Chain A
Amino acid sequence: MEDQGNNKTLSLIKTSTSSNSGFLERGRRIKVAAEMGLAESSRGRHWSRALRDRLLRRIGNGACGCQKEGLTPSKVAEDLVGEEGDDEVIEMARKLRALQKLVPGGEDLAMDRLFEETADYVEALQRQVNVMRALASLLGMLEKEKRLMGG
């Protein structure tokens, strides 16, 4: 996988330098980079590790054309939920399932761990968004200045 990752990244680098890489393609790679940075920012976390694994796997698999691996069997949310009425349990289970899918690595987590990870993930996401927004506006200003200065 490392070799594949290696090749993949190299090819990525090669393609990116050409100015005709599509806008979308660039955007996607930026997103991957951002998520990688997000994962790096909270290194010790379960979700961080899962996110990194997911990203690396995606890159590696992209090179060899593998399909995305199936999701690990998740704990049935019903187990996680305490006693409630039946309909409510189903509702709750659905929501928990959705949350599990959103949070990287959430599928293996039970309810209490899931909430912990979600809290940390939300914080990290918020920070990431702030940084990216600042960066985007900064670059935007830079560009404007450049243009203004006749660059």
Chain B
Amino acid sequence: MEPTRSSGAGSGNSGTYTPEIAESLRFEEEIQSLMHPSLEPPPASDGGSSFTALLGLPANQAVELLHEPESDDSLAVAAAKASGREMWRFRLRDPKALTLPSGCSPTFPSNAALVERAARLSVFAAEDSPEAASVPSHSGDRSPKPKAEPADSDSQPICPIPGERPQRLAKRKEADKGNKVKGPAKKTKSAEEGSAKGAEENTSGEKLPYVHVRARRGQATDSHSLAERARREKINARMKLLQELVPGCSKISGTALVLDEIINHVQSLQRQVEVLSMRLAAVNPRIDFSGLDSFLSAECGRVTVGNGRGGGGMEQSAWMEATVVNGGRRQPQQQQQQQQIWHVDLVHPHPTPPVWERVDSPHLIINPGTSLFGYDPSNSVVSLHSNQLKTEL
């Protein structure tokens, strides 16, 4: 356990590795170039568990290399080359954790020093020491090869390479491992950002510096597609809501047909409104408004009747009044309704649209807030604009 480990690569665990960071970066590029043309998975890798496998070298060779302090560079290169691929994976999983979790192969069972050196030689220098320090426990949780953990946690964490790589890695990792990543793989909105940035924050609430996105096979996991997917899911949820609203839509499958149904329904409702308004227009508007003034001032102080506007008098009050005058058995009902209506209006201190008010004030005056039917949820009544209605009468 080297305390210096957590302080970053450059802190020089030993004098030999002072320019380590620069080296690491260089090695990184080397690895990249090496890896891309052709790099088959390390042979005999049980999930890449063995350090030897990582190195991609026969065991003895690796041991040799490791045992040669002078061959640091070559070892580093070799390690870089061979383990590059694995490194990528591990980095993806835990940028801060050592990428040689599987490291302890039978060849180097518990040689902490060796592992440390190898880790040191790895190209991935830790950049963030504080996180690195906090990470070991995390890496311990999540490394697929637990046996390597204790040693690994002290090993040099891998530096998070700038953002885009983890995403590329994500793809490859997914391709490689399919659904191997368990549990933490979660797809949430925050997860998108998390994995997109290659962020180390644990957004899923689990002990993971990385939030894994469960990308389906063959689907990209970069930030754009993730955001896209989340959006699409949101849209689908809304669509389902609409389906429930529109009668008979839940049985239909397929967005296009559902959309058709929705459009038809909206059109039919709008047509119904038209038909009903015609029907209302057909109602004979001649209702007796004589007793209205006193009635209204009693009921609702906000309302004043225009002078000489018999026909244009109080809308619903007019009707209600008429009913009261005429209706026999209907009376109680309407009165109730009336009370309700007025009540609701009185209750609503309508922030009335100024236009209406100004319009009304000169002559007529119905308080625009006065509506035909106040909005009363129990009745599911909708307010019709009093002004206009009255004009009809």
Give chain A's interface residues, CB within 8 Å of chain B.
Answer: 2, 5-6, 9-10, 12-13, 16-19, 23-24, 26-38, 40-41, 52, 56, 82, 88, 91-92, 95-96, 98-99, 102-103, 111-112, 115-116, 118-119, 121-133, 135-136, 139-143, 145-146, 149, 151
Q: Main secondary structure on chain B at its contact with chain A?
A: helix
Q: Are B262 and A99 in contact (CB under 8 A)?
A: yes
Closest to A22 in B: B281
Q: Are B269 and A122 in contact (CB under 8 A)?
A: yes
What chain B residues lie within 8 Å of A99 (beta carbons)?
259, 262-263, 266
Considering the chains assembled together, what is the distance between the CA atoms of A50 and B238 in angstroms? 21
Q: How far is the CB of B248 from chain A (nearest CB, A)?
A: 13
Q: Are A52 and B353 in contact (CB under 8 A)?
A: yes
Closest to A120 in B: B245
Q: Are B238 and A112 in contact (CB under 8 A)?
A: yes
Give chain B's interface residues, CB within 8 Å of chain A.
Answer: 228, 231-232, 234-235, 238-239, 241-242, 245-246, 255-256, 259-260, 262-263, 265-267, 269-270, 272-274, 276-286, 309-312, 319, 322-323, 326-328, 330, 353-356, 358-360, 362-364, 371-373, 375, 380-385, 387-393
Q: Are B389 and A56 in contact (CB under 8 A)?
A: no
Which single member of A18, A30, A119, A132 contacts B245 (CB below 8 Å)? A119
Q: Are A16 and B270 in contact (CB under 8 A)?
A: no
Q: How far is the CB of B225 from chain A (nearest CB, A)?
A: 10
Which of A24, A28, A118, A125: most chain B CB closer than 10 A? A118
What chain B residues lie within 8 Å of A129 (beta carbons)?
269, 272-273, 276
Q: Main secondary structure on chain A at its contact with chain B?
A: helix
Q: Are A23 and B256 in contact (CB under 8 A)?
A: no
Q: Are A10 and B363 in contact (CB under 8 A)?
A: yes
Which single member of A30, A82, A141 contacts B277 (CB below 8 Å)? A30
Q: Are A33 and B387 in contact (CB under 8 A)?
A: yes
What chain A residues lie within 8 Å of B279 (beta carbons)?
136
Q: Are A125 and B273 in contact (CB under 8 A)?
A: yes
- In the complex, the number of residue pairs spanning A and B with C-beta atoms less than 8 Å apart equals 212
Which of A30, A34, A38: most chain B CB closer than 10 A? A30
Q: Can you show 25 pairs from A to B with CB atoms below 8 A apart? A: A6-B362, A16-B312, A28-B277, A33-B388, A33-B391, A36-B385, A37-B372, A37-B382, A38-B382, A41-B382, A82-B232, A88-B256, A91-B256, A95-B260, A99-B262, A102-B270, A112-B234, A118-B242, A122-B246, A122-B266, A125-B269, A129-B272, A129-B276, A142-B319, A142-B326
Q: Are B256 and A17 in contact (CB under 8 A)?
A: no
Q: Are B384 and A37 in contact (CB under 8 A)?
A: yes
Given contact pairs A103-B266, A118-B262, A142-B326, A136 touches B391 in the complex (Cβ within 8 A): no
Closest to A124 in B: B382
Across the A-B interface, the 6 shortest Cβ-Cβ residue pairs: A33-B388, A37-B384, A115-B238, A17-B311, A36-B385, A16-B391
What chain B residues lie within 8 Å of A2 (beta carbons)?
354-355, 358-359
- Contacts A29-B391, A129-B273, A145-B330 given; 7 further ones with Cβ under 8 A? A13-B312, A13-B364, A36-B384, A40-B375, A40-B385, A41-B382, A41-B383
